[in-house]
């Protein structure tokens, strides 16, 4: 009979469509006639499939009564109610009729004893319920499904239907947070007994949450549910998980973390981040997000209290920096570790946590020796030189305002920076180390000034700490001599390797710094600057024709800044300009 009706159905569908096409009179007659037919299941199925959803919705109560009374071999009630559910997903009854209609429909649906019949039917009704009824109806539906499919073996047969039900509820439930706090939602999720299937369901929930949730989440029940879902995803990752899957899961969990916000309850916010760190242990991106958010939290606390710092607020800032310092080593990417150490050190500096700032900067610099010399990106090997130079330049700009630690000595962190620069294996013929050394000269010049060009509120930098003490200036000068020697060695090596263009550029860069920063009236310094100019002129044809005029213009600008002072340096600079013009 079932095979016969599968052939019979399409013909009846076509006849009904033709008879009822743009003719409501015939449609009404058909419904009236079908009540008198004994085995009316095939006709009822044809009505549900062939007639418009608007017509079905307008007579929903009448039709559901007909379906509940139908008894036809080969056409089960579950098939009829499934077809009715599909029609309801397109067009629904009037608001005042929906509750009674749903109750009457489920009086029959709940009588289905076969789990397959029940879940296949309910799958089509889930969209109608989620979209048109209070959340309590969805919760009641989930409870019924859990009761019917509590057996593991039964669930495994219907994972696809369960996924479809979850998708329809998520897509049609306007308040995702309200859904998450329903008592039957997480137990429904537990019906997905296989890890891979449950992970897909959890990922789907977080995708919809990212798209449809409020800007911030504060409800502890919602947060707890999302933590549970995120942990399932985190625990599903193995060494065999592909990188793209890890990336997607990391982004979804990070999005959830960024949305958790407790307002001015900063201690509660920090406690959440501590819990999240323990929960999501397999994901570098999530750890990075946590460190970024905790640093942001420390700065938020700073902006709230600002000048009214207390022992309690200082302790909170130290707790935030400690969290970051402990968390960063768990990240596998060295570059990400270095960047976060730098940021955390800067946050510590602003919050006047000097010891923790020094520890972060020191940890960051020590990691440079562990950096790979090159990375493969999109099948191409790219050296790390540019990253290291950029990173160390940023570090130098920060170290300008970092006061020396009394335990470590004068310019300890700068000395460490010079040491790690030597240890890193720059590419052959790279300008990286020399660029760093030139920037170090800029930083050392600032250290010799009576007042630094910028400060951090509440931080006593070296200008105030030393006050141009002769011993400190002597240490600065010694470091300058050391750095200049390193640059001269590199220039000599470039000449031996016949890298004349690079040698010429670096010669001019070093010369500009000498005439700007050094005591040019000293014979040795004056001669060094002049020799660098002469060395550059040997191969000026290798440079852009506008390069040397720009250098001369820069020298003139330096002279104009000093000519009115009538100092030895100004006189020496004037003499230097006469020499280069003569040459």
For the stretch 470-484, pLDDT in tens is 999 999 999 999 999
- Asked whether 219 and 189 are in contact (CB, 8 A), the reply is no
The mean per-residue pLDDT over the stretch 233-248 comes to 90
* Triad 220, 288, 352: Cα angle to 5°: 90
pLDDT band at 582 (very low <50, low <70, confident <90, very high): low
Residue 566 confidence (pLDDT)? 67
Mean pLDDT of the chain: 89
Give pLDDT tens digits for 163-195: 999 999 999 988 899 999 999 999 999 999 888
What are the angstrom distances between the C-alpha of 399 and each of 34, 342, 346, 352, 444?
88, 11, 10, 14, 10
C-alpha atoms less than 13 angstroms from C-alpha of 332 in its C-beta half-sphere: 6
Residue 17 confidence (pLDDT)? 81
Residue 22 confidence (pLDDT)? 67
Per-residue pLDDT for 289 more than 90? Answer: yes
75: which strand partners? 72
| Residue labelled with tokens 């007042």 | 451
Burial of 301 (0-12, 13-18, 19+ CB in 10 A): buried
Residue 86 confidence (pLDDT)? 93
Residue 152 confidence (pLDDT)? 67
Q: What percent of the chain has pLDDT over 90?
A: 52
Residue 48 confidence (pLDDT)? 87
Per-residue pLDDT for 583 more than 60? Answer: no
Per-residue pLDDT for 148 more than 80? Answer: yes
Per-residue pLDDT for 273 more than 70? Answer: yes
Residue 567 confidence (pLDDT)? 77
pTM of the prediction? 0.86
Give pLDDT tens digits for 364-380: 999 998 998 888 777 78
- List all residues 6 or more positions away from 319 whose beta carbon is below 8 Å from its beta carbon: 270
* Strand intervals (E) in 244-386: 374-377, 380-383
pLDDT band at 437 (very low <50, low <70, confident <90, very high): very high
pLDDT band at 38 (very low <50, low <70, confident <90, very high): confident
Of 8 and 279, more confident: 279
Per-residue pLDDT for 307 more than 70? Answer: no
Residue 53 confidence (pLDDT)? 87
Per-residue pLDDT for 434 more than 80? Answer: yes
Per-residue pLDDT for 212 more than 90? Answer: no
What are the angstrom distances between the C-alpha of 353 and each of 187, 298, 346, 398, 431?
46, 11, 10, 15, 35
Which range, of 67-81, 101-115, 285-299, averages the lowest pLDDT? 67-81
Which range, of 7-21, 192-206, 488-502, averages the lowest pLDDT? 7-21
Per-residue pLDDT for 121 more than 70? Answer: yes
Which range, of 18-27, 114-123, 269-278, averages the lowest pLDDT? 18-27
Residue 24 confidence (pLDDT)? 64
- Using the Cα atoms of residue 127, residue 49, residue 81 and residue 30 in order, give the sign of their dihedral: positive
pLDDT band at 547 (very low <50, low <70, confident <90, very high): confident
């Amino acid at each position: 009979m079932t095979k016969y009706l599968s052939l019979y159905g399409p013909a009846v569908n076509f006849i009904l469509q033709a008879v009822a096409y743009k003719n409501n009179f015939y449609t009404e007659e058909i419904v009236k006639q079908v009540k008198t037919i004994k085995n009316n299941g095939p006709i009822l199925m044809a009505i549900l499939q062939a007639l418009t959803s608007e017509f079905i919705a307008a007579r929903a109560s009448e039709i559901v009564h007909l379906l509940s009374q139908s008894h036809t071999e080969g056409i089960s009630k579950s098939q009829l109610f499934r077809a009715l559910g599909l029609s309801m997903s397109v067009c629904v009854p009037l608001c005042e009729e929906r509750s009674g209609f749903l109750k009457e429909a489920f009086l029959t649906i709940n009588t289905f004893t076969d789990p397959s019949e029940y879940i296949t039917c309910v799958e089509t009704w889930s969209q109608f319920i989620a979209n048109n009824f209070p959340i309590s109806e969805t919760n009641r539906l989930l409870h019924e499904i859990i009761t019917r499919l509590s057996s593991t073996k039964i669930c495994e047969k219907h994972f696809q239907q369960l996924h479809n039900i979850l998708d329809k509820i998520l897509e049609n439930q306007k308040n995702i947070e309200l859904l998450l706090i329903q008592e039957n939602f997480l137990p429904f999720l537990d019906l997905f007994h296989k890890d891979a299937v449950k992970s897909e369901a959890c990922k789907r929930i977080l995708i919809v949450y990212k798209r449809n949730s409020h800007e911030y989440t504060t409800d502890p029940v919602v947060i707890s549910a999302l933590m549970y879902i995120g942990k399932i995803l985190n625990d599903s990752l193995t060494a065999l998980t592909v990188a793209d899957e890890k990336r997607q899961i990391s982004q979804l969990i990070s999005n959830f973390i960024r949305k958790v916000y407790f307002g001015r309850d900063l201690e509660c916010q920090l406690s959440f981040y501590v819990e999240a760190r323990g929960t999501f242990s397999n994901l570098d991106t999530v750890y990075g997000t946590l460190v970024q958010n905790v640093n942001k939290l420390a700065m938020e606390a700073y902006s709230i209290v600002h000048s009214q710092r207390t022992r309690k607020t200082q302790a909170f800032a130290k707790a935030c920096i400690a969290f970051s310092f402990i968390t960063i080593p768990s990240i596998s990417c060295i570059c990400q570790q270095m960047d976060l150490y730098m940021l955390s050190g800067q946050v510590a500096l602003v919050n006047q946590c000097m010891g923790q700032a020094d520890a972060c900067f020191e940890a960051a610099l020590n990691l440079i020796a562990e950096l790979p010399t090159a990375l493969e990106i999109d099948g191409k090997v790219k050296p790390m030189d540019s990253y290291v130079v950029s990173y160390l330049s940023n570090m130098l700009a920060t170290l300008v305002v970092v006061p020396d630690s009394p335990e470590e000595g004068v310019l300890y962190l700068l000395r460490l920076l010079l040491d790690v620069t030597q240890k890193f294996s720059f590419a052959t013929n790279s300008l990286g180390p020399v660029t760093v050394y030139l920037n170090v000269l800029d930083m050392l010049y600032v250290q010799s000034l009576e007042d630094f060009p910028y400060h951090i509120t509440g931080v006593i930098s070296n200008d105030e700490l030393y006050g141009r003490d002769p011993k400190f200036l002597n240490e600065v000068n010694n470091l300058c001599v050391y750095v200049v020697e390193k640059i001269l060695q590199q220039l000599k090596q470039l000449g031996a390797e016949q890298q004349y263009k690079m040698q010429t550029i670096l010669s001019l860069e070093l010369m500009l710094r000498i005439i700007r920063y050094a005591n040019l009236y000293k014979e040795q310094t004056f001669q060094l600057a002049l020799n660098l100019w002469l060395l550059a002129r040997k191969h000026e044809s290798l440079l852009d024709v506008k390069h040397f005029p720009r250098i001369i213009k820069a020298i003139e600008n330096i002279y104009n800044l000093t000519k009115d002072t009538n100092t030895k340096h100004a006189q020496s600079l004037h003499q230097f300009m006469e020499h280069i013009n003569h040459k």
